[in-house]
Amino acid sequence: MSRLYDELIEAYDSIKSRIPFEPEIALVLGSGLGDFANNITNQVLIPYEDIKGFPISTVSGHAGTFVFGLIGDKKIVAMQGRVHHYEGYSMHKVVMPIRLMKLFGAKKLILTNAAGGINESFKPGTLMMITDQITSFVDSPLIGENVEELGTRFPDMSNVYDVELQALMRKTASSLDIDLKEGVYLQTTGPSYETPAEIKMFRGFGADAVGMSTTCEAMAAKHMGMSIAGVSCITNLAAGMSSTPLNHMEVKETANRVAKQFEALIKNFILAI
């Protein structure tokens, strides 16, 4: 067995007795969905700090907890707070929570985030369903010895985001009268925002949105054969596209402004799965 798999099993074993049920769906709550857990009933919380070898977020206001519970009759596990590569964690640590949620039993994964809009038709507050991703600017979480227990050495990435889940997400958005956009998400390492020249390059590469998370998680999940859906909340126009400099306050303000709509989309999507 590989060291990475040993670590994962150790983490699992350290909280095994507290896992209330096998979840069907795993959900990563990004900026903008901080209050989503209020929609989850019959909650059982497992704080990350109780899990052996688990990464703990250093970003203020990012509570780190697994929330097990129900949305309607759907059994879910939500990650309230994720860790980022820019905090200094290796990519292996960053994707460890995703791998653990697969061990809990989740076969479907919903990823959410806040992102800068590169596509010129997007406005701050736009919700964008992720249809594909560019992960070439960050290290792969699959580098190193392959964990055979999780997946194959050379996994296919032709369809990272499940087409059936995409169709369901479109239908859900339309039933809620949400003008859901679609596009390609590109991950950078952060923590600095991009330069205007980088944004121009990313647009040339076909990216519609940029952020500092998600593609590594999707890659690790795809490696394990999970069905993945992703949504970005476009919190700002990317660097060089507006006259004002970027700042975290703007990101948080826009995320809060559209939080209710974002919550409704994710909640109804889960109910429809």
Strands (E), 25-126: 25-29, 41-47, 65-71, 74-80, 108-117
Active site residue 212: yes
65 touches ligand HPA (CB under 6 A): no
- Is 134 among the residues that bind ligand HPA (CB under 6 A)? no
Nearest distance from C-beta of residue 237 to ligand HPA, angstroms: 8
Q: Is 91 in the site for ligand HPA (CB under 6 A)?
A: no
Alpha-helical runs (H) found in 115-241 = 163-175, 196-204, 215-223
77 or 115: whose CB is closer to ligand HPA?
115
Stretch that binds ligand HPA, among 67-75, 81-89, 142-150, 233-241 (CB under 6 A): 233-241
115 catalytic? Reply is no
118 interacts with ligand HPA by CB under 6 A: no
Q: Residue 55 or 211: which CB sits closer to ligand HPA?
A: 211
Q: Are 162 and 131 in contact (CB under 8 A)?
A: no
What is the helix (H) or strand (E) element at residue 264, kind and residue range? helix 259-272
Distance CA 43, CA 64 (A): 15
CA dist 129 and 132 (Å) reads 9
Q: How many residues bind ligand HPA (CB under 6 A)?
A: 13
Give the nearest distance from C-beta 235 to ligand HPA in angstroms.
Answer: 5
- Dihedral, 163, 166, 171, 174 alpha carbons, nearest 10: -140
Q: Which of these is catalytic: 221, 236, 255, 263?
A: 236
Q: Is 127 in the site for ligand HPA (CB under 6 A)?
A: no
Place of tokens 């859900």: 172
Chain positions contacting ligand HPA, by CB under 6 A: 114-116, 193-194, 210-212, 235-236, 238, 246, 251
